Structure 1
Amino acid sequence: MPPTIILVRHAQALHNVDNNIHDPELSELGRQQCAQLKEKLMPRIPKDLDVGLILVSPMKRTLETALLAFGDLIERGIPIVAHAGWQENSLQPCDTGSPLPSLAPLFPAVDFSQVDPLFPDKTSPLAAPVYGYTRQAIVGRGQAVLRELRGRPEKAVIVVSHSGFLRDGVTGWWFMNGDWRVFEFDQSEPDEFDEVGGEDGTLGRVRLRQWEETREGGMGWSWDRSVPLGDGLPDADAGGDAEAEAGEAVVDGV
């Protein structure tokens, strides 16, 4: 049976003030939000959510959020694994990760061994089809990480990621800083096929079903509304226009 997934947006970070900060750390408000997240969600584990794994985008704000909010789980032996598939969408400095040789020593509790060797590259001919700022890349990446999660043996998995990717590539739902939503894999019907359903455009789209209690976020900070996956993202065939939009993309940093 596929795991329940708890999708968490990182708490507020310094790029909420200046988008040009490269791979920003959490703000003081963000650290307070982590404490609130911990207070709200941790009592549910393992009573309601038997978490066996924490996946985290290998960026400073997500890593800090995971360690501050879920450090108790890590102390209990729950593994925390960095995964490049969950990084943010745009090519702006704030959404571009740091090289692993400088990043990994800052977070010794995190397993970085499975991070894609392409990270933090998003623009080379090898990286752009997977990590580029296009509808096909972002939705395809979202479907790829969901298929990977669907095959995991754990009963529940926490993922700490980013608003843009969680909305545009994974769920269609809005996430505010430090908020979380819980989803099950919907196995009632076969995967739905469409032109951006998978990495190669031919795989069916993975269906998710959200817990009713998190429709406004587990913290109650998020909007009870959704958008189609990939909504508003540039197509890959837009060429240079897509690159320009990626550099000017609005950061979800409220």
Structure 2
Amino acid sequence: MPPIVHCVRHAQGVHNLCTANHVIHDPLLTDLGNEQCRTLRDSFARHEHIDLITASPLRRTIYTALQSFEPVFQARPNLKVIALPDTQETSDVACDTGSEPDALRKEMEGKPVDLSWVYEGWNVKSGRFAPTNKAIKDRARAARRWLKGRPEKEIVLVTHGGFLHYFTEDWEDSSQFQGTGWTNTEYRTYVFSEEEDRDDLEGYALDGDNATLVETLESRQRRGKSGPMPSREQQKTLYKIGTQGWDDQGLQLSTAEREAAKVPEGQEIEGVRA
């Protein structure tokens, strides 16, 4: 039986304080962020059931995992946070770009963090990690498939507010906050669908199982929602609305697109925003 997945957005980072801080490379948590981790640690009721913890390799997600799930590491001394490059944040701005592998290994030395999946180039925002909808959808699906195939029964993934919409494919309220519908350290619980979807939210055919996630009713009720999450057909519409909503917020995926969008009245020169 595929595992249960608890998805968590990282605690408040320095970049969350203001847009100007988005130029900070791979920022750390704020004091409030550390407090949010302690609150999640004390309120999360499933520590004893968790047998795998994964996280984006950015520092704010790793530290959120280490602090929020401290009881799991205490109970399981050999357990480590597995850092998964496919779950990094979506854009190519500095705050969403990870550290060099050697620097990350030096910083995490002595901590229960497994960086074996973090390789040279994981923090270069091109190819697999390009700030495009297709690339992000592809790596989100790869992460879902990897987790679905794991032998563990209950898994935690600590990642980012924007990426979580691609990973869960739940676009409801995706523009409620800046670039996300998730609050810092919010967690939601998912199971894998019994159906094998063979297309993505844009209708493109896939080379295999989409590994679709479904939020549990208990999880939705925990955050004030009634009834099941929107259907896959409804999500296809919400996806279009959500990505357009981010554009309207000035949160295009690439730095170049964000700069182009600042042009008064959207002036274009020979088809290119100048």
- TM-score, structure 1 length as denominator? 0.80
Amino acid at match of 2:189: V
1:81 matched residue in structure 2: 82
Deviation at 1:140, TM superposition (A): 1.1
Comparing 10-19 with 114-123, greater Cα deviation is found at 114-123
Mapped contact 1:88–1:164 kept (Cα < 8 A): yes
How many residues matched? 230
Instruction: Return the alpha-carbon distance in structure 2 between the equivalents of residues 73 and 202 of structure 1.
Output: 36
CA deviations on 1:89-113 (whole Å, 9 max, x unpaired) are 0000000000011112222320101
Deviation at 1:206, TM superposition (A): 2.5
Mapped contact 2:191–2:215 kept (Cα < 8 A): yes
Amino acid at match of 1:139: K
Instruction: Return the alpha-carbon distance in structure 2 between the equivalents of residues 58 and 2 of structure 1.
Output: 24
Amino acid at match of 2:28: E
Q: Percent identity?
A: 34
Deviation at 1:83, TM superposition (A): 0.7
Instruction: Return the alpha-carbon distance in structure 2 between the equivalents of residues 195 and 34 of structure 1.
Output: 33
Q: 1:45 aligns with which of 41, 44, 47?
A: 47
Q: 1:79 to 1:106 in 2, by over 3 A?
A: same
Q: 1:29 aligns with which of 12, 28, 32?
A: 32
Amino acid at match of 1:135: N
Deviation at 1:116, TM superposition (A): 4.1
Amino acid at match of 2:4: T
Instruction: Return the alpha-carbon distance in structure 2 between the equivalents of residues 248 and 73 of structure 1.
Output: 46
In terms of Rg, which structure is larger?
A: 2
Instruction: Return the alpha-carbon distance in structure 2 between the equivalents of residues 221 and 68 of structure 1.
Output: 26
In structure 1, the gaps of 5 or more residues are 235-240, 250-254
Amino acid at match of 2:71: D
Mapped contact 2:101–2:119 kept (Cα < 8 A): no
Deviation at 1:197, TM superposition (A): 7.2
Alignment of 1:1-254 (within 5 A): 1-17=1-17, 18-41=21-44, 43-46=45-48, 50-77=49-76, 78-108=79-109, 109-123=112-126, 128=127, 130-173=128-171, 174-187=181-194, 189-194=195-200, 201-215=206-220, 220=223, 228-229=238-239, 231-232=242-243, 244-245=256-257
Q: 1:221 to 1:99 in 2, by over 3 A?
A: farther
Mapped contact 1:90–1:133 kept (Cα < 8 A): yes
Deviation at 1:203, TM superposition (A): 3.6
Mapped contact 1:179–1:221 kept (Cα < 8 A): no
- State the SS of the aligned residue for 1:26: coil
Mapped contact 1:57–1:161 kept (Cα < 8 A): yes
1:238 matched residue in structure 2: none
Comparing 207-216 with 25-34, greater Cα deviation is found at 207-216
Amino acid at match of 1:143: R
CA deviations on 1:69-125 (whole Å, 9 max, x unpaired) are 1122123223311110110000000000000111122223201012244311112xx
Mapped contact 1:7–1:160 kept (Cα < 8 A): yes
Amino acid at match of 1:44: R
Q: 1:2 to 1:104 in 2, by over 3 A?
A: same
Instruction: Return the alpha-carbon distance in structure 2 between the equivalents of residues 95 and 247 of structure 1.
Output: 16
Q: Which has the higher contact order (CA 8 A, sep 6+)?
A: 1
Instruction: Return the alpha-carbon distance in structure 1 between the equivalents of residues 258 and 119 of structure 2.
Output: 21
Instruction: Return the alpha-carbon distance in structure 2 between the equivalents of residues 140 and 197 of structure 1.
Output: 13
Deviation at 1:242, TM superposition (A): 5.8
Instruction: Return the alpha-carbon distance in structure 2 between the equivalents of residues 106 and 195 of structure 1.
Output: 38
Q: Which has the higher helix share?
A: 2
CA deviations on 1:35-74 (whole Å, 9 max, x unpaired) are 1111111x3232xxx2111001111110110111112212
Mapped contact 1:10–1:61 kept (Cα < 8 A): yes
Amino acid at match of 1:11: A
